[in-house]
Amino acid sequence: MKKLMITVFAVFMLPLISLAQLSVTGKIADEKSNALPGATVRLNGKTTKTSADGSYRFTNLRQGNQTLTVSFVGYQTQQKSFDLQSDQTIDISLSPSAFLADEVIVRATRASEKSASTYK
């Protein structure tokens, strides 16, 4: 009887263990397929950065609706929603964002050799 109870318990627990072992992987690149190392990737409260080849990985995820958000300086932030039922690979291509700024004026002062004070 004791062995039967352990077997029944194990059979019911096995599906629960497998629920938390899904993963999402992928690569982040620009429109020309150049990797974007250091891009920020967020997935439902978890955050990671892409590696030198633009790849990322999230593990121990639960099934259900997920929202992946990718951002990188100089590029438009992109979001993708999906239903996670099995391990998935999601590659994302980011578009450059137009950055328009006002003109920048740079001024400098240099003391001459004969001036009363010098700058260090």
| 16 assigned to some structural domain | no
Q: Taking the CB of residue 54, how many other CB atoms lie within 10 A of it?
A: 21
| 58 assigned to some structural domain | yes
DSSP state of 86: S
- Give the bridge partners for 82, in sequence order: 66
| 54 assigned to some structural domain | yes
| 110 assigned to some structural domain | no
| 27 assigned to some structural domain | yes
| 120 assigned to some structural domain | no
Is the pLDDT at 82 greater than 70? The verdict is: yes
Summarize the confidence of residues 73-98 as an average pLDDT.
94
88 burial type by CB count under 10 A (0-12 exposed, 13-18 middle, 19+ buried) = middle
Number of domains present in the structure of the chain: 1
CATH code at 79?
2.60.40.10
Among residues 49, 90, 95, the alpha carbon closest in space to that of 67 is found at 90
Domain range enclosing 38? 22-94
pLDDT score of 100: 65
Summarize the confidence of residues 62-89 as an average pLDDT.
95
